[in-house]
Amino acid sequence: MAAKGENRAKKSRPVDPVQSPITFRPCANDEFHPFPYTERDHRAEAMFQSLVDEKASRLGISRRAFAQSACGSAAALFVFNQVYGCSEHGQTLRDPTTDAGYDVSPAMMEDAAAAEDALAGDEFIFDVQVHAAASKPPWTPDDLCDGAPPGCISPVTFIKEIFIASDTDVACLSGVPSSRSADPLAIEARARIKEIVDRLSGGPRLVIHANVRPNLGEAELDLMEEDARAFAVAAWKVYPSDGSWALDSDEVGQPFIERARKLGIKVIAAHRGISSDAGRYDDVSSPRDLAAAAKANPDIAFLAYHAGWEGRIQEDHPFDPREANPAGIDRMVKAVLDHGIDKNGNVYAELGSTWRNLMASPSQAAHALGKLLKYLGPDRIVWGTDCLFTGSPQEQIEAFRRFQIPEAMQETYGYPALTDEIRRKIFGLNAARVYGVTPGRVLQHIKADDISRDKLAAKLDPGALPLPRRKHYGPRTRREFFALRERPSRGIPSRSPT
């Protein structure tokens, strides 16, 4: 029998924290280093752990069970409102009835049915930016994979995270900025994952990008033809590189666009954002050249991935048309206005990494979405998450379902309300139109496919198909980020040494 002193020591031992289902912790991709973990982040984490203790005890369930439930997600969003609140500069919560960024009530933290109803949805969700890797990324700790071999971010994990652990219906598997030989998931590997998903689904759940580096010249454009013949390419993905080329240049950009047109794949997804210290209108990561190219090529759909957002730029203000060299999302707005592209135009703003990094700052999120809705329109914003870097997309989906642009900001800045109809467009209907996907037909195909059956089985019996616990595969610290940037090539060898 243990001594009384030992029992007292056990009772007083600190309880291990549980992971929030909607995280307060920063996480990045391979393009920018994570933001530092702030005092407010610590405060949010402490408040969430306190709520977990209180509510789990009241409901008579374990702390982990509460955190993994819809009530736990509601608690996380409640903390977002209380700690990060939606005020003029995102500092304090003025009036929870009008300024809270997330439409959640304290009752949802104890009423499972109410929380599940609030966080659920029947939207068609098309995530136009997801990623995978051919092997375990070198920056991830061994325990991230629960002792599994390096292939822990395998097609199986990808399918579990994207399609089973989230409400995503269709996704676009994209590439990262690298040479073909160094790509951690070369197009051959993307195509193999698509084949696996196709066999499991019986419907077009997964489409793929082909990466192009137009500044390499005619040989690279010839590879576009090879990719188009060999793979089911849905769109072309390009990055701003070192600033040596632009989409609106006659020497590089236009020949690339003309080749895309010739091949009949007339969707260009261009990284525009999170890549420079400047983040200004005249920077290489600006959407300025994209808008100019779109104006000159109205039959091509141009998607600005990340919507011009820069992590170092505070999105705590409306767009000012008098600013000649704006930063962040404002340069996205200026680009379409400068080139006379209206809300029915061929330029789209994509939210990958943008929403994930702004959702913990409701004021900035409201300004960012408000500006895009006001100037590009609700039909020209597409949903993307940049997962698997940040784990399953589900936390981003649940947060977006409950997010509201405050009425005070609507009245002051002319921002539209984020209605259910607009949310449906952003979640998937807009992307479906761009990528040539018919939502009704897709949903009919996939409603009883193997993936849907596995998803149902996981809900009915969580032990039957263990799902990842919303882990993050991207770098969470500067050290992890630089380890990623210095990684050796782990990609699948491609046809070209470039």
Q: Using one digit for the tens of pLDDT, what is the confidence trace for 51-65? A: 999 999 999 999 999
The H or E element that residue 354 is part of is helix 354-358
185 contact partners, CB below 8 Å, separation of at least 6: 131, 132, 133, 134, 173, 175, 176, 193, 491, 492
Residue 208 CA neighbour count, 13 Å, CB half: 25
Amino acid letter, 341: I
Secondary structure (3-state) at 316: coil
Distance CA 58, CA 209 (A): 49
pLDDT of residue 224: 97
Phi, psi at 481, each rounded to 5°: -65, -45
Is residue 446 within 8 Å of 163, Cβ to Cβ?
Answer: no
pLDDT of residue 132: 83
Low-confidence ranges of the chain (pLDDT < 50): 1-14, 87-98, 137-151, 488-498
226 contact partners, CB below 8 Å, separation of at least 6: 495
pLDDT of residue 38: 80
Strands (E), 308-382: 347-350, 381-382
pLDDT of residue 282: 76
Is residue 490 within 8 Å of 184, Cβ to Cβ?
Answer: yes
Domains of the chain: 14-118+472-485 (no CATH), 122-446 (3.20.20.140)
